[in-house]
Chain A
Amino acid sequence: MATEALQHSDVTHHYLRAKKKFPNVWCAGCGNGIIMGALIRSIDKLGLDKNEVAVVSGIGCSSRLPVYLDFNTLHTTHGRALAFATGVKIAKPHMKVIVITGDGDALAIGGNHFIHAARRNIDITAILINNKIYGMTGGQFSPTTTGGAFATTAPYGNYEKQFDVVKLAAAAGASYVARGTVYHVQQMEKLIEGGIKKKGFALVEVVSNCHTYYGRLNREGDAVAMISWMKDHAMPIQAAVKLPPEKMVGKFITGVIHETDATEFCDEYQKLVERLAAKEAEK
């Protein structure tokens, strides 16, 4: 661990870009900064070489995260982060590729890339920051906006159904699917760490808060109130499996929800290359 001797705040600074002018673009109280801190600490704990980490993102509030980080960072087009990341990973399979995306970015415009990255089980860790709304464009409903909730494009309440991100990723073929929240920071660090360590496609959904739009439009209060709600409604999977269904009403499950071992895309491609080379050598 490169920075074991450093103080807590020094660890964060070690991974932030000195030249980039702060402050960041996020509203005060936004969960994105908490997630950025957790990501940094997970990477530090794993002792990864900064040069060997690529962080790729799409468009939206969440996707502005990589620019502050001192890694190889690629801020791409709306919804396409996983497709760009697929190119990076295949080109340099030894690199750790982490994707930062949001609920609109990954599940609406990028839904196709999301299921196919999971299906290929390519060794990418996707951190999906779910704040249930389009924040950067000013509060429109997303594929995870709660039924009945208000958004600027759902002025009479949202009448659409929602994606369950965890079920979607697991069904599509991801090796590791976890959910955390911006309240449970230590758990989130462990989940991200687990995702990076896991060979194959890892999805970490982080439930976050957009008090500026979602909170205001739905009278859910400020950042503190919204994050407190997570504390009261998150149920670790270890406890959840023991509870009767009626006790789970209104709660959501956190922790590693799905984990499996399956062949990984880049490994399979490498095997093909070696098989063809062996055949060529026989000639």
Chain B
Amino acid sequence: MKKEFTGKARLLQGNEACVAGAIYAGVEFYAGYPITPSTEIAEGLARALPKIGGKFIQMEDEIASIAAVIGASNAGCKSMTATSGPGYSLMQENIGYAYMTETPCVIVNAQRGGPSTGLPTKISQSDTMQARWGTHGDYTSITVAPSSVREAFEETVRAFNLSERFRTPVTVLTDEVLGHMREMMIMPEPGELEVKERIKPNVPSDWYKHFELTPTFVSPMASFGDGYRYNVTGLTHDQEGFPTNVASEIREKLDKLRNKIERFTGEIYKLRSEMMDDAKIAVFSYGMVARAAYQAVKMARAKRIRVGAIQPLTIWPFADNQIHDLLTNVKKVIVAELNMGQLVHEIRRVAPRHVEVIFMGRYDGEVMTPQQILDKIKEVK
């Protein structure tokens, strides 16, 4: 690990923190295409990767970027790309290919307003559902959502870990404000944060099955050139990786994609809550909105309103049981998002029946302020 990336206090942009986090996690390959507001990630890795023996390429578009990332991952590299809404939309078919072929890779989506070209320089959280359901077909996704520069670093490291551990693409949802905002952070020393590597096969090549069904549903993964010579296809395939139309094998494959993640939600979820012990009202928010929510909760507590805050850092898979439990003793939950209502549907699904779910959304390209959330708390108390 290069000294310049660890061990001292640095003033970093969110996008730069994603770069530093990726390097900390051991990124070896980056392919990307310029797009506001994520471009600093490509710029940072274009500078850093050739110095640390990694590979950087600017591709001809986002479709090619994620394709190259998946190709490099199958050749053994820890791989990532970064983009924003329009690019994330273009990548979706190949992200589906990564789900199907169980190829680890990390995609940072610095969200901007949409639909279409939308608001390239404005904040939004309107890709929350796209991160879950963006590509066609049945699958389960992992998505993390940092809310500070420090978290952008940590969650990028965690995204790589989850991706390698579960052999799946992982999305890091940031946004325009987090990407461009600067905060001081102490760079973690090597070893301070856990860094995971993918599980390699330990069987002779004749026995190797690239999609072997294991007790954890995650198959050990050989790389191209390792001597295992397997087949990878986006067609629904058997454990060897050969296309199949057999009903039992189709079901087995799709169950594997779901089970390897949903049965391990306990390992994947990351939830922060503050002042929830005696709270009658909860404010549920994620990403940049969570910062305003914590501030609003403090202001409300000063006025003796019993309110707490819940922030999921893993937004997919949704931590159904844990969030249900946190909401057991509240009467109301305010769901604050920078969109027209996306994760609020998950809260409606998992909240105990007696809990009233109140949505507050902002979708005019501006941040949610603590005062706005405080006003809502006062209105519903």
Q: Which residues of A contact B (CB under 8 A)?
A: 17, 19-21, 50-52, 54, 56, 66-67, 70-77, 80, 83-92, 94-95, 112-113, 116, 269, 272-273, 276-277, 280
Question: Which of B59, B63, B74, B228 is the one whose CB lies under 8 Å from A86?
Answer: B59
A54 to B60, CA, bound (A): 22
Q: Name 17 A/B residue pairs within 8 A (Cβ), A-sorted.
A: A67-B233, A67-B242, A73-B229, A73-B230, A75-B231, A75-B233, A76-B67, A76-B234, A83-B71, A86-B67, A87-B31, A87-B79, A91-B28, A91-B55, A113-B67, A116-B59, A276-B51
Q: Could you tell me if A90 and B55 are in contact, using CB atoms closer than 8 angstroms?
A: yes
Q: Could you tell me if A75 and B234 are in contact, using CB atoms closer than 8 angstroms?
A: yes
Q: Is B29 among interface residues, defined by CB-CB distance under 8 A? A: yes
Given known A83-B64, A113-B64, A276-B50, contact A95–B232 (CB-CB < 8 A): no
Q: Closest A residue to B97 by CB, please name it.
A: A77
Given known A88-B224, A91-B29, A269-B50, contact A116–B60 (CB-CB < 8 A): yes
| B76 neighbours in A (Cβ, 8 Å) | 91-92
Central interface residue in A19, A74, A86, by most chain B CB within 10 Å: A74
A72 to B231, CA, bound (A): 6
Q: Could you tell me if B229 and A51 are in contact, using CB atoms closer than 8 angstroms?
A: yes
Q: How many whole Å from B137's CB to the nearest CB in chain A?
A: 13
A185 to B63, CA, bound (A): 35
Q: Closest B residue to A85 by CB, please name it.
A: B71
Q: How many whole Å from A111's CB to the nearest CB in chain B?
A: 10
| In the complex, chain B residues 72-130 whose Cβ is within 8 Å of any chain A Cβ | 72-77, 79, 93-94, 97
| In the complex, chain B residues 239-273 whose Cβ is within 8 Å of any chain A Cβ | 240, 242-243
A116 to B33, CA, bound (A): 13
Q: Could you tell me if B232 and A75 are in contact, using CB atoms closer than 8 angstroms?
A: yes
Given known A51-B227, A77-B234, A280-B51, contact A92–B63 (CB-CB < 8 A): no
The number of chain B residues with a CB under 8 A from chain A is 44
Q: Closest A residue to B68 by CB, please name it.
A: A87
Q: Could you tell me if B71 and A91 are in contact, using CB atoms closer than 8 angstroms?
A: yes
| A280 neighbours in B (Cβ, 8 Å) | 51
**Bitwise interface map of B from 143 to 160 toward A, beta carbon under 8 Å scored 1, else 0:** 000000000000000000
Q: Is B281 among interface residues, defined by CB-CB distance under 8 A? A: no
| B69 neighbours in A (Cβ, 8 Å) | 87
Q: How many whole Å from B290's CB to the nearest CB in chain A?
A: 35
Q: Closest A residue to B57 by CB, please name it.
A: A90
Given known A87-B68, A87-B79, A276-B51, contact A50–B231 (CB-CB < 8 A): no
A267 to B241, CA, bound (A): 33
Q: How many whole Å from B49's CB to the nearest CB in chain A?
A: 9
A217 to B243, CA, bound (A): 30
| A95 neighbours in B (Cβ, 8 Å) | 75, 224-225
**Bitwise interface map of B from 197 to 237 toward A, beta carbon under 8 Å scored 1, else 0:** 00000000000000000000000000011111111111100
Q: How many whole Å from B194's CB to the nearest CB in chain A?
A: 24
Q: Is B61 among interface residues, defined by CB-CB distance under 8 A? A: yes
| B70 neighbours in A (Cβ, 8 Å) | 76, 84, 87
Q: How many whole Å from B48's CB to the nearest CB in chain A?
A: 10
DSSP majority for the B interface?
mixed
A34 to B197, CA, bound (A): 42
Q: Could you tell me if A90 and B29 are in contact, using CB atoms closer than 8 angstroms?
A: yes
| In the complex, chain B residues 153-206 whose Cβ is within 8 Å of any chain A Cβ | none
Q: Could you tell me if A86 and B51 are in contact, using CB atoms closer than 8 angstroms?
A: no
Apart from the given pairs A83-B68, A92-B224, 9 other A-B contacts in the complex at a CB distance below 8 Å: A74-B71, A74-B74, A77-B67, A77-B94, A80-B64, A83-B63, A86-B71, A87-B68, A91-B79
Question: Which of A70, A71, A87, A273 is the one whose CB lies under 8 Å from B67?
Answer: A87
| B31 neighbours in A (Cβ, 8 Å) | 86-87
Q: Could you tell me if B64 and A86 are in contact, using CB atoms closer than 8 angstroms?
A: yes
Q: Could you tell me if A273 and B60 are in contact, using CB atoms closer than 8 angstroms?
A: no
A21 to B97, CA, bound (A): 24
Q: Which residues of B contact A (CB under 8 A)?
A: 28-29, 31, 50-51, 53, 55, 57, 59-61, 63-65, 67-77, 79, 93-94, 97, 224-235, 240, 242-243
A179 to B61, CA, bound (A): 29
Given known A74-B232, A276-B51, contact A112–B60 (CB-CB < 8 A): yes
A72 to B94, CA, bound (A): 19
Q: How many whole Å from B305's CB to the nearest CB in chain A?
A: 52
Q: Could you tell me if B72 and A19 are in contact, using CB atoms closer than 8 angstroms?
A: no
| A269 neighbours in B (Cβ, 8 Å) | 50, 55
Q: Could you tell me if A92 and B243 are in contact, using CB atoms closer than 8 angstroms?
A: no
A112 to B65, CA, bound (A): 12
Question: Which of A20, A76, A90 is the one whose CB lies under 8 Å from B72?
Answer: A90
Given known A66-B231, A76-B234, contact A86–B68 (CB-CB < 8 A): yes
A54 to B223, CA, bound (A): 11
Question: Which of A20, A80, A272 is the one whose CB lies under 8 Å from B242?
Answer: A20
Central interface residue in B60, B65, B228, B234, by most chain A CB within 10 Å: B60
Question: Which of A67, A88, A272, A273 is the one whose CB lies under 8 Å from B74?
Answer: A88
| A276 neighbours in B (Cβ, 8 Å) | 50-51
Q: How many whole Å from A279's CB to the nearest CB in chain B?
A: 9
Q: Could you tell me if B77 and A91 are in contact, using CB atoms closer than 8 angstroms?
A: yes
Q: How many whole Å from A168's CB to the nearest CB in chain B?
A: 15
Q: Closest A residue to B227 by CB, please name it.
A: A51
Q: Could you tell me if B97 and A76 are in contact, using CB atoms closer than 8 angstroms?
A: yes
A142 to B256, CA, bound (A): 38
A91 to B68, CA, bound (A): 9
Q: Could you tell me if B29 and A92 are in contact, using CB atoms closer than 8 angstroms?
A: no
| A50 neighbours in B (Cβ, 8 Å) | 229
